[in-house]
């Protein structure tokens, strides 16, 4: 958790992190000292509703064990067909994007999970035995695959 401080807001819990907004100005030395002392990171923690301005604060990842307690065992990692990480899927079907930061053990556990590829938005065409790597503009096929299939 992130401890209370006179210049920090209320503790906010998200599915994967805890954070407190910073109210006021902190010097770089004060930020670094607070980060080192409490194992947190100074970063954008939210956006303002009216101006979409960045709201800065201190953030800390929740332990992986607490996520497993809430959602059941981790079943797999999900990636898009272009390789972008979509997060970890748990036994109850919840999918969360979890940042391990510096925890090597958690990184190893997550890297050991099987990867499932999400093909949403990918062309249905087959080129030389492999799935087409293009995003179709309309329908299920990109323009070259539509031409190939019409012949």
**Residues 30, 56: one domain?**
yes
pLDDT mean over 13-23: 91
Tell me what the pLDDT averaged over the chain comes to: 88
Please check whether residue 1 lies inside any domain of the structure: no
**Residues 95, 111: one domain?**
yes
- The pLDDT of residue 69: 92
Task: Answer whether 92's CB lies under 8 Å from 103's CB.
Answer: no
**Residues 35, 46: one domain?**
yes
Task: Answer whether 71's CB lies under 8 Å from 64's CB.
Answer: no
**Residues 75, 91: one domain?**
yes
Task: Answer whether 131's CB lies under 8 Å from 122's CB.
Answer: yes
Please check whether residue 5 lies inside any domain of the structure: no
Task: Answer whether 17's CB lies under 8 Å from 61's CB.
Answer: yes
Please check whether residue 2 lies inside any domain of the structure: no
Encode pLDDT of 68-115 as tens digits: 999 999 999 999 888 888 889 999 989 898 876 667 888 888 889 999
**Residues 111, 133: one domain?**
no
Please check whether residue 7 lies inside any domain of the structure: no
- Give me the number of domains the chain comprises: 3
Domain of 91 in residue numbering reads as 64-118
**CA distances, 59 to each of 2, 26, 89, 95 (Å):** 8, 15, 23, 20
Task: For residue 127, name the pLDDT band (cuts at 50, 70, 90).
Answer: confident
Closest CA to 142 of 130, 124, 117, 127: 124
Entry pTM: 0.69
**Residues 99, 143: one domain?**
no
Please check whether residue 105 lies inside any domain of the structure: yes
Gap between the Cα atoms of 111 and 88, Å rounded: 10
Please check whether residue 3 lies inside any domain of the structure: no
Please check whether residue 4 lies inside any domain of the structure: no
Gap between the Cα atoms of 4 and 21, Å rounded: 11
Please check whether residue 49 lies inside any domain of the structure: yes
Task: Answer whether 110's CB lies under 8 Å from 98's CB.
Answer: yes
The CA-CA-CA angle for residues 3, 23, 12, to 5°, reads 50
Gap between the Cα atoms of 120 and 103, Å rounded: 31
């Amino acid at each position: 958790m992130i401890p209370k401080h006179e210049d920090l807001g209320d503790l906010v819990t998200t599915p994967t992190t805890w954070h407190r907004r910073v109210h006021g100005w902190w010097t770089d030395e004060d930020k670094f000292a607070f980060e080192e002392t409490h194992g947190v990171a100074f970063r954008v923690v939210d956006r303002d509703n009216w101006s979409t301005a960045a709201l800065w604060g201190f953030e800390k990842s929740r332990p992986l064990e607490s996520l497993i307690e809430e959602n059941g065992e981790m079943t797999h990692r999900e990636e898009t067909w272009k390789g972008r990480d979509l997060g970890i899927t748990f036994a109850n079907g919840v999918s969360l994007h979890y940042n391990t930061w510096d925890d090597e053990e958690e990184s190893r556990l997550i890297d050991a999970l099987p990867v499932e590829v999400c093909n949403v938005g990918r062309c249905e065409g087959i080129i030389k035995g492999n799935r087409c790597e293009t995003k179709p503009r309309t329908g299920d096929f990109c323009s070259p695959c539509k031409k190939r299939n019409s012949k």
